[in-house]
Amino acid sequence: MRWNGWGDPAKAKDLPLAVRALLPMLLGRVRKPRPAVELAHVQLEPSRLTAEDHAAFSAVVGPANVDDAPESRIRHAGGRSTPDLLRRREVHQDAPDAVLRPAHHDEVRACLDIAVARGVAVVPFGGGTSVVGALDPERGTHHAVVSLDLRRLSGLIRLDEISGEALLAAGTTGPEAEASLSARGFELGHFPQSFRYATIGGFAAARSSGQNSAGNGRFDTMVTGLRVATPTGDIELGRSPGSAAGPDLIRVFLGSEGIFGVITEVRVRVHPIPRDRVFESWSFPDFAGGAEGLRRVAQQGDGPTVIRLSDEAETAVSLAQVGKIGKALAKGASVVTVYEGPGIAERRARAGVQLAAAGGVSAGEGAAEEWLKGRFDGPYLRDSLLDAGVFCETLETATTWSNLQTLRSAVESTLKDGFGDAGAKSYVMCHVSHIYPTGASLYFTVLAGLRSDPVGVWGAVKARVNDAIIASGGTISHHHAVGRDHAPWLGHEIGETGIRILRAIKRELDPSGILNPGAVIPAERAH
């Protein structure tokens, strides 16, 4: 992946002309930023690993897999949020003191043992796609911090075709998993926007939700078993498809973001590759009508594999990206649907009745097909916007259907007010891409014409938005996870008793506090 941006550097592209024409109308005159620093000119503090630390880790993973070269450290210096990428443009940067690359579970466990003994913090690293500060190289109370890169733990370990279960090593990327499964006629069918780079272990650790969630479910519903290395012992979970043998401990590690242990193997349910696929797009007069259509489809059940509603603002920018500037200025929301698997005709007809009853008009296959072709490429556009001096970032939440409009309005107004107070015009877009019988997610993208200190301004705006989300009954995160960015608000969602439970688990599994210091659990207040 590009070291200071998203994805394959060869796929980086300029802003479409129509988008360039639209930006001044939305944000006013935007000042182009100074050129980003080149990789060779980045300056890091010297590695704090001692020679003894280095030798101890080398004895486990081999000297070649204890990497303190500046480029490797920079490439593991954080995730892919906009603040992460803006920090990558600076000369002076923070980075882990080394990158460890274990090859299997036992090496992971041995690395944790050494880290405990030698006082070294460990940040587990999969695909590097976190957008909530989960990969920040924080040392905590330890003298050094290492990035534990799991990509050598890769591949399909076992496929049970009769049961429809696959066991995958945690460092396996989405494309690698699908390629190995498709060779046997199966698929996992989990496709978040980070699919090309994120890993199976990362999907589990962050409770990922993919674009096919309407048909295939969230990733945490796909997981049937885990193997985890913790500083105080190993654990294997998922003995049978259903159990009443106490609380489900798999749920302790799903969403734990590496603070309790390192997930090394993930067992998931899989299904035969769908033979058929059908597309249909819909137009609605407004977002409210589209949301009503999605509610009806969700509560009826057995609908599309993918269903996605873009509000008026996002629909306009989507049209501008394909050169339809005239239509981009028109009002209206849009829905794309994709149907896969058995019973497509019946499912499409049933969903169509509900979408039409909510005021939708079928608009053919084209828009849905175009969305599918480019569904993993959105972050490339963000890079282009940043290069042009336009701040671009995303955030997401979820709530019940009855509260959806209230929460959307609260987030949108808070974003606009926050940037307005910083003297910047902004443009807020929203879509729904994950639906449930009782509610849905809301995913916001905001553009702003910031003239200075974008990281600082965004930190203040995001804090106000997090407050608004909690006050308006939303969740602090639907699928981006908690990381360090959301940790101060977690207690408002799960309560002080919930935080005490997490701290108790942390003390039991990681009493030295080496794993991902500062992530997920808010810091304890001084008494």
pLDDT by residue, tens only, the chain of 527 residues: 999 999 999 988 888 888 888 899 999 989 888 889 999 999 999 999 999 999 999 999 999 999 999 999 999 999 999 999 999 999 999 999 999 999 999 999 999 999 999 999 999 999 999 999 999 999 999 999 999 999 999 999 999 999 999 999 999 999 999 999 999 999 999 999 999 999 999 999 999 999 999 999 999 999 999 999 999 999 999 999 999 999 999 999 999 999 999 999 999 999 999 999 999 999 999 999 999 999 999 999 999 999 999 999 999 988 877 655 445 445 799 999 999 999 999 999 999 999 999 999 999 999 999 999 999 999 999 999 999 999 999 999 999 999 999 999 999 999 999 999 999 999 999 999 999 999 999 999 999 999 899 999 999 999 999 999 999 999 999 999 999 999 999 999 999 999 999 999 999 999 999 999 999 999 876 44
CA 499, distance to chain mean position in Å, is 23
Q: What is the pTM of this model?
A: 0.96
| Angle (nearest 5°) at CA 109 between 108 and 113 | 120
Collect all residues with Cβ–Cβ distance below 8 Å to 44 and sequence separation of at least 6. Answer: 70, 73, 74, 93, 94, 95
Residue 88 three-state SS: coil
Q: Report the C-alpha gap between 75 and 93 in whole angstroms.
A: 11
Structure tokens of 50? 């001692």
Which CATH architecture does the domain made up of 9-17+24-149 adopt?
Answer: 2-Layer Sandwich (3.30)
Strand order in the sheet with 156-160: 156-160, 165-169, 262-269, 223-230, 233-237
Say yes or no: domain 156-272 is CATH 3.30.465.10.
yes
Sign of CA pseudo-dihedral 398, 400, 401, 406 = negative
**Integer angstrom CA distances of residue 490 from 21, 49, 498, 522:** 41, 33, 9, 7
3-state DSSP of 442-472:
EEEEEEECCCCCHHHHHHHHHHHHHHHHHHC
Q: How many CB atoms sit inside 10 A of residue 330's CB?
A: 11
Q: Report the C-alpha gap between 422 and 445 in whole angstroms.
A: 18
**How far separated are the first and last CA of the chain, in Å rounded?**
44
Which CATH architecture does the domain made up of 277-471 adopt?
Answer: 3-Layer(aba) Sandwich (3.40)
Structure tokens of 475? 């969740």
Sketch the domain layout of the chain as residue ranges.
9-17+24-149, 156-272, 277-471
Question: Does 9-17+24-149 match 156-272 in CATH topology?
Answer: no
Q: Report the C-alpha gap between 305 and 326 in whole angstroms.
A: 31
| Angle (nearest 5°) at CA 147 between 145 and 152 | 150
